[in-house]
Amino acid sequence: MSEAVAALGGDPRTTAPKSAGLGHRKILTILSGLMLGMFLAALDQTIVSTSIRTIADDLHGLSRQAWATTAYLITATIATPLYGKLSDLHGRKPYFLTAITVFVVGSALCAFSTSMTELAVFRAVQGVGAGGLMSLALAIIGDLVPPRERARYQGYMLATFAMSSVAGPLTGGFLAGQERILGVTGWRWVFLVNVPIGIVALFVVAKVLDIPHTRRDRRIDWWGALALTAGVVPLLLVAEQGRAWGWSSARSLVCYSVGAAGVAAWIVVERKAGDDALLPMRLFRNGTFSKTSLLSVLIGAGMFGGMLMIPQYLQIVKGASPTRSGLQMLPLMLGVIIGSVVSGRITAKTGRYKIFPTIGTAVMVVALLLFAYRVQWDTPLRQAMAFMVLFGLGLGCCMQTLVLAVQNAVPPRDMGVASASATFFRQMGGTTGTAVFLSVLFSDVGDKIASALGSAARTPSFQAALHDPAVLRNPSDKPVLDMVQNPGSGVGGPNVLSDSSFIQRLDPRLAEPFQQGFADSMHVVFLITAGVFAVAFLLVLWTREVPLRKVSGIEARAAEEGQG
């Protein structure tokens, strides 16, 4: 150990690094290529969500639209740990270039789909590429930049993610709304737009990314990958489809059983594989790694819960279009950018990071409680936007810091595995959280609407609306009139749960109970999400802060090899 430390001039966790030949400008140049790759993955998740209904209508497959998302999610999640392990063994650059190439090819194929089945298959190809874009970009930064300085650069990358979250809905809504662009159907540009961005990223990364790597000839853990697939795929399927199937249906029960058996088999296989494992079990003996992995699950679930409900509030309750709601989400993204950049710079200056997820989780608990108790159906939008900023600030303090903590806690040779695990566990948490929160929302909203409608029916304004000739002549208002005249027919039925857009066509007096019912149901989700972040807050307090290394992953790995 002493020789390795001497080679670096001291303790690799506490001594300033020698120059690795990469100045700030060179790192920013490399970072530009990495950010383009991350932008592709992050943009694709949001740009498709706002255009999928238009796409499904054009391809005559509205009932199968969910599979386009499910296929992408499954392959991206499964591919993430594979990219991490393989890049640790063989180097980052070839796999990052492969990920970009596969993603671009998948995007081009999606653009020329002729059916929803084809689109789902090609989205799966996209997902294979997307699985490496985010995790490998984080691992490459870990190779090039010491942990103490890394937070500053990861802040830029998280800001890219935040920007894509705004640009995606805006771009998707605009492109899907165009009949044709340059002779091509508008929605097909949702996928074609990835091609030029991906090609630029491919050339930038190929030209400027040059990471020294000593190839390690180790057995590839294909059995572990197969067991992980058997465990994760059924769980992702039931998370995505369980609400449609029924959580206790035969298909759901089969998925639970197969998934549990797959996870158990994966743990057994990984124990036997030792250091060759896809995700070595020894890492979980590291308290920081295991707690941070659990934190990633909780943060992922809570993040998707909050970021899912807020657009639902804007669109269903406030009547904003998907494109307009994307613009109205700007305060949240501004908070994310400010939180990530400020926390990154302070971490680089002080070397301390635990304070930020501690503050971040506490701030998000407060923000979500404010949404639950202060944001009603008729609350001014500016008040909701103020709470969005608060939620974004908390999120910005957490996301990059968790990746930094897990990268810093593991041996440098496991940098790729650590980065991929952070992404993997966050995706699993996000998928689970989305399924649970949507289930809570739609299982509760019928009763909330019925209660609100019962209260509203006794008010003078609602009674006046029932006898207004304009309301009686409006076909859009007729279903509500029927509900009031025939209470036993069931409020919150299929029309409400499958297509809430009719609310915006109602007379405002008749729409109010529906808006109030949805807002009240969202309050329940916000409270549950606040509880998730409260658990995360306690877990952060229980997690030990490991001093940040002052050497890059390349230098620390060289020290390890010198020791060997």
* pLDDT surpasses 60 at 361: yes
Q: Report the alpha-carbon distance of residue 82 to residue 72 in Å, rounded.
A: 16
The DSSP call for residue 77 is H
Between 253 and 559, the more confident residue is 253
Provide the domain limits for residue 256.
Answer: 222-277
Q: Report the alpha-carbon distance of residue 296 to residue 361 in Å, rounded.
A: 12
Q: How remote is the C-alpha of 99 from its chain's centroid?
A: 18
Measuring CA to CA, which residue among 517, 475, 238 is closest to residue 376? Answer: 517
The pLDDT of 18-35, averaged and rounded, is 72
Give Cβ neighbours of residue 510 (< 8 Å, ≥ 6 apart): 462, 465, 471, 477, 480
206/298 same-domain check? yes
Task: Note the pLDDT tens digit of each residue in 258-310.
Answer: 999 999 999 999 999 888 888 888 888 888 889 999 999 999 999 887 877 88
The pLDDT of 423-440, averaged and rounded, is 86
* pLDDT surpasses 50 at 82: yes
Q: Residue 7 is part of a domain; what is its CATH number?
A: 1.20.1250.20
134/211 same-domain check? yes
Question: In the chain, how many domains are there?
Answer: 3
404/346 same-domain check? yes
Percent of the residues in the chain that have a pLDDT greater than 70, as a whole number: 88
Selection from 207-216, 237-246, 288-297, 395-404 with the highest mean pLDDT = 288-297
206/98 same-domain check? yes
Q: Report the alpha-carbon distance of residue 438 to residue 419 in Å, rounded.
A: 29
pLDDT band at 558, cuts 50/70/90? low
102/35 same-domain check? yes
Give Cβ neighbours of residue 28 (< 8 Å, ≥ 6 apart): none
* pLDDT surpasses 60 at 8: no
Per-residue model confidence (pLDDT) at position 562: 59
Between 416 and 105, the more confident residue is 105
Per-residue model confidence (pLDDT) at position 305: 79
Q: Report the alpha-carbon distance of residue 476 to residue 462 in Å, rounded.
A: 16
Q: Report the alpha-carbon distance of residue 430 to residue 299 in Å, rounded.
A: 8
Task: Note the pLDDT tens digit of each residue in 230-241.
Answer: 998 998 888 878
- Beta strands at 180-181 and 184-185: parallel, antiparallel or unpaired: antiparallel
Task: Note the pLDDT tens digit of each residue in 374-397.
Answer: 999 899 999 999 999 999 999 989
Collapsing DSSP states into helix, strand and coil, what is residue 339?
helix
Selection from 14-23, 114-123, 147-156, 205-214 with the highest mean pLDDT = 114-123
254/335 same-domain check? no
472/435 same-domain check? no
* pLDDT surpasses 80 at 12: no
Between 531 and 5, the more confident residue is 531
C-alpha angle 88-92-95 in degrees, rounded to nearest 5: 105
Task: Note the pLDDT tens digit of each residue in 485-524.
Answer: 666 554 444 355 556 667 878 888 888 888 999 999 999 9
Percent of the residues in the chain that have a pLDDT greater than 90, as a whole number: 27
Per-residue model confidence (pLDDT) at position 557: 65
Q: What's the mean pLDDT when you consider all of the chain?
A: 83
The DSSP call for residue 177 is T
Residue with tokens 């998730």: 532
* pLDDT surpasses 80 at 53: no
Q: Report the alpha-carbon distance of residue 97 to residue 189 in Å, rounded.
A: 23
37/121 same-domain check? yes
Per-residue model confidence (pLDDT) at position 18: 39
198/65 same-domain check? yes
pLDDT band at 27, cuts 50/70/90? confident
pLDDT band at 10, cuts 50/70/90? very low
C-alpha angle 211-45-114 in degrees, rounded to nearest 5: 110
Between 268 and 562, the more confident residue is 268
Q: Report the alpha-carbon distance of residue 532 to residue 294 in Å, rounded.
A: 12
243/385 same-domain check? no
Q: What are the two backbone dihedrals, phi and then psi, of residue 380, each rounded to the nearest 5 degrees?
A: -55, 140
Crossing angle for the helix pair 92-111 and 194-208, nearest 10 degrees? Answer: 170
429/472 same-domain check? no
Per-residue model confidence (pLDDT) at position 487: 60
Q: Which residues of 438-464 are buried (b: 16+ CB within 10 A; e: fewer)?
A: bebbbebbbebbbebbeebeeeeebee
The DSSP call for residue 13 is T
230/201 same-domain check? no
Task: Note the pLDDT tens digit of each residue in 457-479.
Answer: 888 888 888 888 887 787 777 77
